[in-house]
Amino acid sequence: MAIATWTAETGWGDSRVTNYGPLDMTPGCAALHYGQEIFEGLKVYRHADGSIWFFRPEMNARRMIASAERMDLPPLGEADFLASVHALARADEAWVPSGDEMSYYMRPVMFADEAFLGVHSASRVTYAVVGGAAAPYIADGLTPVDIWVTTTYSRAGDGGTGSAKCGGNYASSLKAQREGAAVGCPQVLFTDAATHEWVEELGGMNFFAVTTEGRLVTPPTSGTILAGITRDSILALAPGLGLTPEVRPLSLSELFAGIVEGDIREAFACGTAAVVTPIGRLVHSADGEVETIPLTAPLGEATRALRTALVDIQWGRAGDPYGWMQEVRPHV
């Protein structure tokens, strides 16, 4: 693992790559009480020639800075973030698997590491990066997944922490996820906290709907939605595949009616871990009854084309016109 510590007096320092192991922490650790914590998720991909690569890691660095600012943690500079993930990837090079859709998943985390039970921003913070070989997140990435649409719980509200990658957002999504699991849905689609009428995103993935005219609709990330790097990449790839990106609010009524009337035939979720996950059915509660709305083309052409275009760049099977790939630096 890579590790560094920050103190109010000295700033960031003591950075190193060391053996994976437990952290020294007391039950008084502020992160355990107040949740001042953020994280990131990124992968290392092995190409056919054996070289190993990151996908847009500077975006993770910048997002972690934005998350840190929202949670009043001390931002770790972009160059330091990149140095930490490159150093860990090189140290763990032998653990980066080759093989179809196999990767090495890396998890940077930063938390208030101070044993003091007063509510204030920590004066001591730990940053650590751990990683390991990862099989595809959803065993066959192309099996459509059923989604529970909750209009009871929210993952984010106006002015809240929805746009920060913080653990608390995930903790507050687990109850809805359990509710979804009870009706056979492994993932949950959240709606806006104020009216529950507008589509936001899943617990850890962004949401897209595809219309029959090839419009690719996803809600804007302003405030309550996490700005996914996969989402951003899909929006960039869309025009080249004959799709028109449309970043605009999408209401549940438009979504449900669009599916029922045949204008929306495919929908998918996306994120680093699972890449693109086709959605099979939306399940929700209408007047106390559970209603199921199946997508007619859950594994449609657009979903397949976007997924293929993205993974081909990531695994080096296609050119990299946007300069998204960054080769892991040699040992320094």
Ligand X SMILES: *Cc1c(COP(=O)(O)O)cnc(C)c1O
Closest separation in Å from C-beta 187 to ligand X: 11
Question: Rule CB under 6 A: is residue 136 a binding residue for ligand X?
Answer: no
Task: Report, in this order, helix, strand and coil percent for the chain, each rounded to 5.
Answer: 25, 35, 40
CA pair distance 1, 232, nearest whole angstrom: 28
CA atoms within 13 A on the CB side of 165: 23
Q: Which of 43, 46, 165, 265 binds ligand X (CB under 6 A)?
A: 165
Least CB distance to ligand X at residue 228 (A):
3
Instruction: Decide if residue 272 touches ligand X (CB under 6 A).
Output: yes
311 binds ligand X (CB under 6 A): no
Interacting span for ligand X (CB under 6 A) from 28-36, 116-124, 226-234, 293-301: 226-234
Half-sphere exposure of 149 (CA within 13 A, CB side): 26
The answer to whether the beta carbons of residues 248 and 219 sit under 8 Å apart is yes
Binding region for ligand X (CB under 6 A) out of 99-107, 179-187, 204-212, 323-331: 204-212
Q: Cβ of residue 289: shortest distance to ligand X, in angstroms? A: 29
- CA 1/CA 87 separation, integer angstroms: 9
Among 75, 108, 131, 204, binds ligand X (CB under 6 A): 204
Instruction: Answer yes or no: are the C-beta atoms of 292 and 285 closer than 8 Å.
Output: no
Query: Which listed residue (64, 89, 96, 205) binds ligand X by CB under 6 A?
Result: 205
Nearest approach, Cβ of 236 to ligand X (angstroms)?
13
Question: 3-state DSSP call for residue 176?
Answer: helix
* Token pair for 55: 């996908």
- Judged by CB under 6 A, the residue of 161, 177, 191, 230 near ligand X is 230
Q: Does 85 bind ligand X (CB under 6 A)?
A: no
Distance in angstroms between the alpha carbons of the first and the last residue of the chain: 17
CA–CA separation, 269 vs 231, rounded Å? 9
Residue number, 88 or 273, with CB nearest to ligand X? 273
Asked if 266 is part of the footprint of ligand X (rule: CB under 6 A), the reply reads no
Nearer to ligand X, 2 or 61 (CB): 61
Q: Which of 111, 91, 140, 101 is nearest to 5 (CA)?
A: 111
Positions touching ligand X (CB under 6 A) are 41, 165, 169, 201, 204-206, 226, 228-231, 271-272
